C-alpha cells in the first residue's frame, strides 16, 4: 500500500544567516561566487560583495562544516580555505579567526567553553582572570563583552551584579553603558 499523495514536499529552509548575507541581496549575480580562480574579474566582484558582508563568520564556518569545495565563501576560494584550515590543524574556529583576522570567533568559543548558566547569571568557571588570545590579553569581562556584543567595549568593563565571576550580558557594563544608565 502506498501513501503517496501527489503533493510536493515543503522544501523551504528555516531562516538563517544566509537571509542577511550580502550575496543574497537583489542585484548580486550568484554566478560570481562559482567562478574559477582564473576568472579574476569575477573573483574581484565576489570579494567586493563579501568584504562588506555582515555574515562572513557564519558563511565561512558553514563552508568548513559543509565541506564546500566549489564556491567563494567569505571572499575565499576553496583552495584558500583548504590551506587556512590545514594551517589551523583542521580546527574550524581557529581557521575562521585566522582567515578573517578577527579574534571574536575565538573569544565566543572561549566564553561558551568556560561559562555556566546560574539562574539569570552566567558564571566564568575557569581559574584565570586574564586570557591571552593571539598575543593580546583580555580580562574575563572584556572577553565576555567581545563574545556577547561582537565588538570591543568602550573603556573598562565592570560587573554590575553581586554574583562572583558573573559575565552575563545583563550584568556587564562598559563606560558607555554606565553613562547611559546614569543619564
Domain stop point among 102, 120, 144: 102
Domain limits for position 84: 17-102
pLDDT for res 2 = 52
The answer to whether residues 83 and 158 belong to one domain is no
What average pLDDT does range 7-23 have in this prediction? 80
DSSP string across 63-102: HHHTT--SS-BTTB-HHHHHHHHHHTTT-HHHHHHHHHT-
- Domains identified in the chain, total number: 2
Residue 3 maps to a domain: no
The answer to whether residues 53 and 97 belong to one domain is yes
Residue 11 maps to a domain: no
Instruction: Give whole-number Cα distances, 105 to 5, 42, 151, 163, 179, in Å.
Output: 46, 28, 11, 26, 28
Banded model confidence at residue 183, pLDDT cuts 50, 70, 90 = confident
The answer to whether residues 98 and 124 belong to one domain is no
Distance between CA 25 and CA 23 in Å, rounded? 6
The answer to whether residues 134 and 165 belong to one domain is yes
C-alpha gyration radius of the chain: 21
- Give 121's strand partners: 118
pLDDT for res 181 = 85
Domain stop point among 75, 102, 129: 102
Residue 12 maps to a domain: no
pLDDT in tens, 117-176: 999 999 999 999 999 998 899 999 999 999 999 899 999 999 999 999 999 999 999 999
Residue 6 maps to a domain: no
pLDDT for res 111 = 96
Amino acid at each position: 500500500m502506498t501513501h503517496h499523495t501527489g503533493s510536493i514536499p515543503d522544501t523551504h529552509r528555516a531562516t538563517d544567516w544566509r537571509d542577511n548575507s550580502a550575496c543574497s541581496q537583489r542585484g548580486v549575480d550568484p554566478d560570481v561566487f562559482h567562478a574559477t580562480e582564473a576568472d579574476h574579474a569575477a573573483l574581484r566582484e565576489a570579494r567586493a560583495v563579501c568584504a562588506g558582508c555582515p555574515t562572513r563568520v557564519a558563511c565561512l564556518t558553514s563552508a568548513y562544516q559543509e565541506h564546500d569545495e566549489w564556491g567563494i565563501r567569505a571572499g575565499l576560494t576553496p583552495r584558500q580555505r583548504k590551506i587556512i584550515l590545514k594551517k589551523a590543524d583542521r580546527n574550524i574556529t581557529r581557521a575562521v579567526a585566522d582567515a578573517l583576522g578577527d579574534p571574536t570567533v575565538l573569544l565566543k568559543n572561549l566564553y561558551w567553553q568556560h561559562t555556566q548558566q546560574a539562574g539569570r547569571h552566567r558564571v566564568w568557571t575557569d581559574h584565570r582572570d586574564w586570557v591571552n588570545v593571539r598575543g593580546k590579553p583580555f580580562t574575563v569581562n572584556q572577553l565576555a563583552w567581545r563574545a556577547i556584543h561582537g565588538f570591543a567595549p568602550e573603556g573598562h568593563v565592570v560587573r554590575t551584579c553581586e554574583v562572583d565571576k558573573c559575565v552575563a550580558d545583563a550584568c556587564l557594563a562598559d563606560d558607555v553603558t554606565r553613562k547611559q544608565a546614569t543619564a
